[in-house]
Amino acid sequence: MLIRSHTCGQLRESHVGQTVRLNGWVNSYRDHGGLIFIDLRDRFGLTQIVFDRESGLAADMMASADKLRNEDVIAVEGAVRIRVGGENPKLDTGKVEVVVVALEILNKTDNPPFLPDDLGKLPNEELRLTHRYIDLRRPSMQRILALRHKVYQTTRRYFDENGFLEVETPILYKSTPEGAREFLVPNRHVPGSFYALPQSPQLFKQILMVAGCDRYMQICRCFRDEDPRADRQAEFTQIDLEMSFVRRDQVMATMEGFVRRLWKDVADVDVPPLQRMTYRRAMEDYGIDRPDTRYDLKIKDLSAFAAKMDFAIFKSALEKGKDRPAYNSKKGVVKALRVPGGAEKLTRKITDGYTDFVKTFGAGGVAVVKVIKGEDGQPKLDTGIAKFLEPLKAEFLALLGCQIGDTVLFVADVYAIATKAIGELRQKVARDMGLVPKPGAEGGPWNFLWVVDFPMFERNKETGKWVAMHHPFTSPNDDQMQAFLDADMDDEVTIEGIVSAGYDVVLNGQEIAGGSVRIHDRAVQSKVFALLGMTPEQAKEKFSFLLEALSYGAPPHAGVAFGLDRLIMNFAGTDNIRDVIAFPKTQTGADLMTRAPSPVPENQLRDVHIRSIAPAP
């Protein structure tokens, strides 16, 4: 075989006169009869090679060259020269070409189902995933693979420099069915017993702290058997960290340093210091715990104002849970979103659509009013609920700081639903108003933000039980610890008010990292388990190893996990998580290339003491 001397992205004017050998795929061919041009492709680029009947190429090789087609794999030998037909500025190698004197066909291809170029429309994703080995040849996909590699390398370098040890943790793990649904793996030796694949290495990394590792990191695979989304996959990758003898601020500083290094290395962007926002502020102003601050729309609570209105829909919403304390999920509220310039851009058709939109989050609808210019030149309320606002017009305009040309959107419901609905609506309105900047060539703008002071606990919507907002190993914040230990477990208002030592990094409305200071005291951990409704026996059955570890000299520790796939999505400028995973799965968990999952022979099931109750296909 003609082993390559250079890659297809390498040759320049300085190589002119040299005899070189290239290997690669036929990216395109231009056949002029006695003269054939081929763009040869590998991961590193494209090089034009020329077959010329009049340049001494053997007749049989010329005949072979005539048969070359896209995606054939070949090796050639020839001399580098300045292009006779002039430069092609689109190629890095565009000043030169290789005049072939020897051709070796390494592998003829069948006619491929699609070509891996970035011209024109992509074939449908089903086909791309089925023939992933072709799809990944596409330069845009190669670029993402390289980006991902770069992130791995920068990550390992940064944490190594900061004293972290990379430690692998088990994939076959104990089932702890509190959080996401788990993937189960039967054990052959103990009939009826199962491992679970880890939702995250959470407890192992805490135990590594107890074990004296001091600082741990791992780029690890996590598994959650929940329905995927465009930015979510059942099998995904985290950059997982844990640190000993630190409090919240030390971890946050380490994370911020990492973010800064990563963006510098990968995108050559200098990230300014991150602002902090409390969870409460985020929910109040943005209706979501991961605000997108790239645009300046803010939500305002108008409950007190709305109570003065003679408008039945608001009144009945405010009646709900009216004896509950503020921010209680079941307390009725009225939320408003002022949209500058909305009076013109948000047509009746669009605002009508908002009602359907908020219904998907359980809200009843959206009330609308426009602020237009009256005959006297002053602001005038128009359409929708204008007549109900008219008696309180001055107060309304002042409360929201309305200008002529604004539209104001209202959602009235219990706190949990109204907040979620108007928070989602805010993001939709921003898209409709064209306020969301399109990522430029460098990906940005990059709006980072810390969100802190999350509640420790929230009520499960269906069961009404307390559940941990982050996870059950999250510590109350330092200034809350005594209040938590003293708290009566039946005192709903106090429990609800306990703030955890958790922290999230939010980027452009996306959670890219989350972590917390952990509980390192057995008594605190036991109280959390009890609050979550676990008896001491249940806690012991599920987490005895953790409770024991906490009893044998556990250092204060804290940690975090970054969603690696989402980081790459940002750098790659894609909103499809499958683009950043080499071999992703579909929405039903299928790998279309390997055809996993698949049935297994009966005897294989018997070995692991499993009988399938699935109906025969």
As measured in angstroms, the least distance from the Cβ of 127 to RNA is 6
Which of 472, 476, 559, 563: binder of RNA (CB under 7 A)? Answer: 472
As measured in angstroms, the least distance from the Cβ of 70 to RNA is 5
According to the binding rule CB under 7 A, does residue 576 interact with RNA?
yes
According to the binding rule CB under 7 A, does residue 119 interact with RNA?
yes
According to the binding rule CB under 7 A, does residue 191 interact with RNA?
no
Tell me the β-bridge partners of 223: 235
As measured in angstroms, the least distance from the Cβ of 23 to RNA is 20
Q: Who contacts 275 (Cβ-Cβ below 8 Å, separation ≥6)?
A: 449, 450
Q: Which is nearer to RNA, 32 or 438 (CB)?
A: 32
- Site size with RNA, rule: CB under 7 A: 74
Residues 194-233 that bind RNA (CB under 7 A): 199-200, 202, 224, 226-232
Q: Which is nearer to RNA, 228 or 342 (CB)?
A: 228
Give the H or E element holding residue 236. Answer: strand 235-244
Residues 3-62 that bind RNA (CB under 7 A): 28-35, 37, 39, 48, 50, 52-54
Q: Which is nearer to RNA, 61 or 608 (CB)?
A: 61
CA–CA gap between residue 473 and residue 329 (Å, rounded)? 24
Q: Which is nearer to RNA, 193 or 576 (CB)?
A: 576
According to the binding rule CB under 7 A, does residue 500 interact with RNA?
no
Structure tokens belonging to residue 370: 């426009």
Q: Choose the stretch contacting RNA; rule: CB under 7 A; options: 119-127, 255-263, 328-336, 376-384.
A: 119-127
Nearest to 201, CA basis, from 249, 164, 159, 238? 238
Distances (CA, A) of 524 to 230, 487, 509, 547: 38, 12, 33, 10
Q: Which is nearer to RNA, 406 or 432 (CB)?
A: 432
As measured in angstroms, the least distance from the Cβ of 461 to RNA is 5
Q: Which is nearer to RNA, 35 or 404 (CB)?
A: 35
Q: Choose the stretch contacting RNA; rule: CB under 7 A; options: 338-346, 460-468, 484-492, 605-613.
A: 460-468
Residues 124-153 that bind RNA (CB under 7 A): 124-127
Q: Choose the stretch contacting RNA; rule: CB under 7 A; options: 116-124, 254-262, 319-327, 381-389.
A: 116-124
Q: Is 285 helix (H, G, I), strand (E, B) or coil?
A: helix
344 with 351: CB under 8 angstroms? no
- In a 13 Å sphere around the CA of 525, the CA atoms on its Cβ side amount to 23
Tell me the β-bridge partners of 21: 77
Q: Which is nearer to RNA, 137 or 338 (CB)?
A: 137
According to the binding rule CB under 7 A, does residue 469 interact with RNA?
yes
Q: Virtual CA dihedral for 233, 239, 244, 248, nearest 10 degrees?
A: -70
E strands present in 349-454: 367-373, 379-382, 407-414, 448-452
According to the binding rule CB under 7 A, does residue 292 interact with RNA?
no
- HEC-encoded secondary structure of 45-72: EEEEEEEEHHHCCCHHHHHHHHCCCCCC
Q: Choose the stretch contacting RNA; rule: CB under 7 A; options: 114-122, 156-164, 323-331, 334-342.
A: 114-122
Helix, strand, coil percent values for the chain (each to nearest 5): 35, 25, 40
According to the binding rule CB under 7 A, does residue 113 interact with RNA?
yes
Residues 383-422 that bind RNA (CB under 7 A): 420
Q: Virtual CA dihedral for 580, 229, 417, 474, nearest 10 degrees?
A: -60
